[in-house]
Amino acid sequence: MRRLNYDTLNIIVAAQRLRSFRIADGVIREAAGKDAPSWFKSAKSYYSEIPDCVMKVAGLHKNRSDFEKVLNFNVTDETLKTNHNKLFGFEFPADDRDEYRTETGVVTIQS
User: Is 111's pLDDT higher than 50?
Assistant: no
| Distance separating alpha carbons of residues 57 and 31, to the nearest angstrom | 41
- Write down the pTM of the prediction: 0.84
pLDDT digits (tens, 9 = 90+) for 34-66: 999 999 999 999 999 999 999 999 999 999 999
- Beta-strand runs (E) in 2-99: 2-3, 91-92
